Structure 1
Amino acid sequence: MGRKILLENINIPGIKDYEVYRKNGGYTAVEKALKSMTPDEITEQVKTSGMRGRGGAGFPMGMKWSFIDKKSGKPRHLVVNADESEPGTFKDRYLMEHIPHLLIEGAIISSFALEANLSYIYIRGEYMWVYNILEKAIKEAYANGWLGKNILGTGYNLDLHVHCGAGAYVCGEETALIESLEGKRGNPRMKPPFPAVSGLWAEPTVVNNVESISTVPWIINNSGEEYAKIGVGRSTGTKLISASGHIKNPGVYEIELGMTVDEFMNSDEYCGGMMDDRPLKALVPGGSSVPILPVHYIFKTANGEDRLMTYESLADGGFVTGSSLGSGGFIVYNDTACIVRNTWNFTRFYHHESCGQCSPCREGTGWMEKILYRIENGMGTMDDIDLLWDIQSQIDGNTICPLGDAAAWPVAAAIRHFREEFEYHVRFPQKIKNRDHFVSEPMEKVRHLLK
């Protein structure tokens, strides 16, 4: 059983209510932070912890906090990114739904560290029932003196609000989120300036994800040094993983970073192995935007080392033989999965969610969707496969925000690792057309048919 930080108290009956949360150690970190620490000391503890943002990019959180402009004299803000829209990822929802005061406690400490007096939780529009849970918890925090004026008699003031978005995936990008929070269309901004200098209302702002902010109380109560002892190398601490797909035990799990992929996938404590004991075919380890891994790169890196649940190990080999931990959306596919259909499904999503601001993303995602539709429905050509490769390469790295990259990487990895399956769709269209739901032939048979 691994160390639990975020989910340690998740199964206590009534933990979402203030009284139960408080009786189980809730808000003790706020007391410690506000009464015995300075904002800079809190930031140093987060730096020491090695905590990396859990929204997908994995940027060191303490370093991000240290970038905020404290010299301009402008008000500063914390914005909690609860716009969890990455397909395959649902761990932030789980936290907010079951233990909302943990996030609020983390937001209070983080706002104090940033010397912010007005902060926001920006939640995705589809999470209305979670929005109501957060609103109730915030009212409880105000009623018990944890928010508002002169918190704990320290002279520190903080107002915290929940803002509901309109359900746009692109608003998970921090500058698009800020635009939406200001009441505008959620289009990403050009950077620089970065939000730490000019964010919400052109004032210094830090945007951090729900899981990241929820970890702060533990760091304050136990120290950054203790947090850094958990995990491996620069992948310190624990990570929430949203596990789904063809596994026996889908759900949200908290793991110590450094566990092998094999253990996480096959142990009874976590995924429990493959559903119906069918063969494993592929894995998307970090949400739909990261490259898919074929079976021979899932448990071992290209160098033959054990693949670990860490930022570094999952990325080993770059996007040729590796992938990314991303947001922790761990999607498992067995031998019945059609990679072409899966890639088409992802591409439909990214085309729909593109804000349209950049022509490579606006036009490229649309063309990739059309071409993948043709191939999946038995109307494709061999040239279409090469055209797909060319289009994704022209999107990757050529857009204002990472949505373009997120759309390109799954297509590139699918063609790189499963080109034979694309060719099978082209060479044997009748086999594809005659099935309502394509069930792939064993890859050995596919290779034989393509000879």
Structure 2
Amino acid sequence: MGQKILLEHANVPGIKTYEVYRQHGGYRSVEKALKSMTPDEVVEEVKTSGLRGRGGAGFPTGMKWSFIDKKSGKPRHLVCNADESEPGTFKDRYLMEYIPHLLIEGMITSSYALGCNQSYIYIRGEYMWVYRILETAIKEAYAAGWLGKNILGTGWDLDLAVHCGGGAYICGEETALIESLEGKRGNPRIKPPFPAISGLWQNPTVVNNVESIAVVPWIVNNTGAEYAKIGIGRSTGTKLISASGHCKNPGVYEIELGLSVDEFMNSDEYLGGMMDDRPLKALIPGGSSVPILPAHLIFKNAEGGDRLMSYESLSEGGFASGSMLGSGGFIVYNDTTCVVRNTWNFSRFYHHESCGQCSPCREGTGWMEKVLHRIETGHGREEDIDLLWDIQRKIEGNTICPLGDAAAWPVAAAIRHFREEFEYHVRFPERIKDKDHFVHEPFEKVRHLVAKQTV
């Protein structure tokens, strides 16, 4: 396996406790940063590393930090986005549950770099047991002098609090998270102004993902240049992948970016191939909101080049033949999977989680769910497929926040790559036999039946 940064000590007994974490080099980045580096020097190291936000967008972290307003004199805040609600993604939960002090160390070092004196971890409402783990770890950090007043005798103060979210997917969007943290309904804000100028309580604020913050200690300890040597091109460093679905070895993996999808999927070191050795039908590489890829585009791109686990390679060809690395929610589907049912399930989720603020999302997600349900249960009409395409097209790019895009992209990709399966549901409803409406017939047979009837 490749180099481990975040999960290097994951299997050390007792690593979630302060004593064991400290014995394994914990909090060295805080000592180095506070005693021998200026805040701007820490920011420069993160810039040099090429670290990109690990929550899904992939925006350069150091650049995001450099946008924070330092001239207004207002208090600044760092907020950790631990509202991990993307279906298929569970890597942040793993980090917080098993190595909580790594996140806390990252919060302290990052807060110093940004000039913050009050920072927050906003955690998903359903993660109550993880919330308690973080609370315990924060108390240990206070007791050891890493948080509070005059940290390491430098005159710098930092308070850190954990806030339990409202159990809403929309609060994973940074401005909705800020609204919720202020005690209001989690509705996304119109941007600009961006949080770096006017965020939490109208103060300059940076919102970063758990994984993004947890890797900062390694960068500070080992330099950004060393981090940049890992990975490939602009996809530097390592990435946590949450693997689930019809693979032999589901779980959380730390990979070096640039690993081939083929090796990650089929190597015994990683997923070990397909469960029960059934054929691979499709794959979602970055969580439910990114486009699904059919089998023939998973290991090779449209031009025949090897598909790599990187931001650039997975998006090669655009949405016509590519997808996105996203949050790293790697969902594997075998040949028994019904793409129509899977897409309907995602649409139900996004309809339920829409905040309702934007008409295209509020109305469009509901209609997509209804039409997909009609097709899935054998009551669809031929024109429903084009209707779905039209609805998703009118949602994408027309909402305040990316939830609209997240709802539209899976529907568009499913129709683009598996249109025959939608037509199969419409034309052969009697073949959908079992109670779950799974299409057990091979996709090639589905294509043949549809093509034969069309002729």
Q: TM-score range by the shorter chain?
A: over 0.9
- Work out the CA distance in 1 between the residues paired with 2:238 and 2:434: 46
Partner residue in 1 for 2:401: 401
Partner residue in 2 for 1:106: 106
Deviation of the 1:150 alpha carbon: 0.2
Look up the SS of the partner of 1:371 in the other structure.
helix
Partner residue in 2 for 1:161: 161
- Work out the CA distance in 1 between the residues paired with 2:97 and 2:439: 36
- Counterparts in 2 of 1:434 and 1:42: CA distance versus 1, 3 Å: closer
Look up the SS of the partner of 1:401 in the other structure.
coil
Contact 1:378 1:433 in 2 (8 A): no
Letter in 1 for 2:310: T
Deviation of the 1:433 alpha carbon: 5.2
**1:96-135 aligned within 5 A:** 96-135=96-135
Matched, 1:194 2:190: no
- Work out the CA distance in 2 between the residues paired with 1:19 and 1:170: 37
- Work out the CA distance in 1 between the residues paired with 2:277 and 2:297: 20
Partner residue in 2 for 1:73: 73
Contact 1:231 1:256 in 2 (8 A): yes
Matched, 1:152 2:145: no
Contact 1:79 1:206 in 2 (8 A): yes
Look up the SS of the partner of 2:431 in the other structure.
helix
- Work out the CA distance in 1 between the residues paired with 2:264 and 2:238: 13
The C-alpha deviation readout for 1:196-246, integer Å capped at 9, x for no partner, is: 000000000000000000000000000000000000000000000000000
Matched, 1:268 2:268: yes
- Work out the CA distance in 2 between the residues paired with 1:393 and 1:433: 32
Contact 2:341 2:437 in 1 (8 A): no
Deviation of the 1:441 alpha carbon: 1.3
The C-alpha deviation readout for 1:289-334, integer Å capped at 9, x for no partner, is: 0000000100001111000000000000011100000000000000
- Work out the CA distance in 2 between the residues paired with 1:300 and 1:139: 49
Look up the SS of the partner of 1:156 in the other structure.
coil
**1:1-400 aligned within 5 A:** 1-400=1-400
Deviation of the 1:447 alpha carbon: 1.9
- Work out the CA distance in 1 between the residues paired with 2:78 and 2:43: 14
- Work out the CA distance in 2 between the residues paired with 1:286 and 1:236: 17
The C-alpha deviation readout for 1:54-90, integer Å capped at 9, x for no partner, is: 0000000000000000000000000000000000000
Look up the SS of the partner of 2:332 in the other structure.
strand
Aligned length: 451
Look up the SS of the partner of 1:289 in the other structure.
coil
Look up the SS of the partner of 1:176 in the other structure.
helix
Letter in 2 for 1:341: R
- Work out the CA distance in 1 between the residues paired with 2:436 and 2:172: 34
Look up the SS of the partner of 2:276 in the other structure.
helix
- Work out the CA distance in 1 between the residues paired with 2:146 and 2:423: 60
Query: Runs ≥4 in structure 1, deviation > 6 angstroms?
Result: none
Letter in 2 for 1:142: Y
Deviation of the 1:144 alpha carbon: 0.3
Letter in 2 for 1:343: T
Letter in 2 for 1:217: P
Deviation of the 1:440 alpha carbon: 3.2
The C-alpha deviation readout for 1:127-170, integer Å capped at 9, x for no partner, is: 00000000000000000000000000011100000000011000
Deviation of the 1:435 alpha carbon: 4.1
Deviation of the 1:187 alpha carbon: 0.2
Partner residue in 2 for 1:443: 443
Contact 1:377 1:433 in 2 (8 A): no
- Work out the CA distance in 2 between the residues paired with 1:244 and 1:436: 20
Letter in 2 for 1:306: D
| TM-score normalised according to structure 1 size | 0.99
- Work out the CA distance in 1 between the residues paired with 2:317 and 2:164: 39
- Structure 1 gaps, min length 5: none
Contact 2:75 2:117 in 1 (8 A): yes
Deviation of the 1:432 alpha carbon: 1.8
Letter in 1 for 2:24: N
Letter in 2 for 1:338: C
> In angstroms, what is the RMSD of aligned CA positions?
0.6
- Work out the CA distance in 2 between the residues paired with 1:202 and 1:269: 47
Contact 2:376 2:437 in 1 (8 A): no
Moved more, 278-287 or 429-438: 429-438
Look up the SS of the partner of 2:432 in the other structure.
helix
Matched, 1:415 2:415: yes
Deviation of the 1:448 alpha carbon: 2.0
Letter in 2 for 1:100: P
